Amino acid sequence: MNRRSFFYTTFLATTIPSMADIHMYKAEFDIIDSILEHMFEHTDIVADYKDANAIEFIKRSIFHPSYDKEIRLFILQGAKEFLRLYPHFTSLSYFQKEIYLRGFEDISMGQSWLYRIQILALEAFYSAPIYGTNLNQRYYKPIDAKAGEPLPKSRYIEL
C-alpha cells in the first residue's frame, strides 16, 4: 500500500460511521424520509410510501459493511447540507417543499444527491419482502409486474 492509499484508507476508516453510529444520524434520516415521502406521494396508482418501510431499508443498506463508503458519506453529507439550507422542511406545505427541492437541485451536489436517494427508495420498493419492504409485493401491482420465482428465503448478503 502506498502512502496516499494509506492516508485515504485511514481517513475513511475514521470518518465513515458504522452501523453502531446510526442513532447519531436521526435528523439526517428524518429529512431523507420526509423528502422521499414528498417525492413518492400516495395516489390511486402508487402505493403509500410509508408502507414501504423504505427508510429502514436505506439505513440497513448504507450502513452495511459492504456498502460503498463514499456513497454512504455522500448521502449523509447531502442530508446535512439539505438540513442546513432548509431546517424547517418537514413542517412546510406540499408546494413549499416542491420549491425547496427544485432549489436544492440547482446546487452542485443537489441533483446527484436527490437522484441517489430516489434510487435507494426504488430499491426498497422493488426488493423481495425478505428485506422488510414491498410486503405482499404491493409495489409490483401498479406496474403490472411480479417478483421472480422462487422468492429468496434468506438475504443475499447473509449467504
Instruction: Please tell me the predicted confidence (pLDDT) of residue 43.
Output: 76
For 64-122, write each residue's pLDDT tens digit.
Answer: 888 899 999 999 999 999 999 999 999 999 999 999 999 999 999 999 999 999 999 98
Residue 129: other Cβ atoms inside 10 A: 14
Of all residues in the chain, the percent with pLDDT exceeding 90 is 44
Instruction: Please tell me the predicted confidence (pLDDT) of residue 37.
Output: 92
Angle at 126 between CA 25 and CA 66, to 5 degrees: 50
Query: Do 151 and 130 contact (CB within 8 A), yes or no?
Result: yes
Query: Do 119 and 36 contact (CB within 8 A), yes or no?
Result: no
- Local structure of 20: helix, strand or coil: helix
The Cα 83–Cα 90 span in angstroms is 10
Place of cell 422468492: 151
User: Is residue 139 predicted with pLDDT exceeding 90?
Assistant: no
Instruction: Please tell me the predicted confidence (pLDDT) of residue 86.
Output: 96
The Cα 57–Cα 32 span in angstroms is 12
Query: Do 29 and 55 contact (CB within 8 A), yes or no?
Result: yes
